[in-house]
Amino acid sequence: MKHSISLKHVVVLLSLILTSSVTSAGEPLVKQAFDGLDLGALPPGWTKAESPLLEMVPESGRGRVLKISNAGGKSPHLEFGMFDPAQFAGKTMEFATQAKFPGGYDPIADNLQAAPKFLIEAKDADGKVIASIAASPSVKKPDWQPLKKSLAIPATAASISVQLCVQLVDCVVFFDGLTITVTDAPAAPAPVAVPATPNEATNPATTVAAKPVPPP
């Protein structure tokens, strides 16, 4: 008798694996190397947009890395989604990748948030973003640079997504790997996105943490 496993069952199994791995704080919940990543057959939880603008390319000492070559004002991305975040409510999740951005881009004057970026979002059951944070690689840096961000997971979060993306601007950027770690430390206030000024074009997705309220 043949037994078939649907994609739904695979995602449920992945969720169970992720749940069991949260038992030890500080250990990676997700650790995805890009050397063996196949954009044509992504693992469960991974999706992509604007496929022709994404490719895996060889990189000395790293095997293969993700290259995003954006043109025409599109928003290509590679995304990892976690759809059962209730177990992480009240905890802080740390997200890390590495990026290389040897070139640059022309900022969009009325939308300085448009940029290559490492974007993390938590959404509620209606799909509304309720917490987010992002980091953009520094321009004209031929060396690999670490990008790391932490986000407090709201109790009402119904999904968490991580994007390696380019939003609207034309440029070429490289990303390598994704690591997600859950900590048991008290959750910090969710960051509030603030508009960048023109001289912040090297990191348009500037964020600032909400100031804590002093005790009475």
Per-residue model confidence as pLDDT tens digits over 142-175:
999 999 999 999 999 999 999 999 999 999 999 9
- For residue 207, the tally of other CB atoms under 10 A from its CB is 16
Q: Give me the percent of the chain exceeding a pLDDT of 70.
A: 73
DSSP state of 18: H
CA 44 vs CA 115, 145, 210: distances in Å: 27, 27, 34
Q: In angstroms, rounded to a whole number, what is the distance separating the alpha carbons of residues 153 and 158?
A: 10
Residue 45: predicted pLDDT: 93
Give the Cα-Cα-Cα angle 144, 134, 164 (nearest 5 degrees).
55
**pTM attached to this predicted model:** 0.75
Task: Kindly report, residue by residue over 78-127, the tens digit of the pLDDT.
Answer: 999 976 788 888 899 999 999 999 999 999 999 989 999 999 999 999 99
What pLDDT, on the 0 to 100 scale, is given for residue 86?
Answer: 83
CB 68 within 8 A of CB 76: yes
Is the CB of residue 112 less than 8 Å from the CB of residue 118? no
Closest by Cα among 174, 184, 168 to 147: 174
* Structural contact between residues 56 and 40, judged by C-beta atoms closer than 8 angstroms: no
Q: Please give the mean pLDDT across all residues of the chain.
A: 81
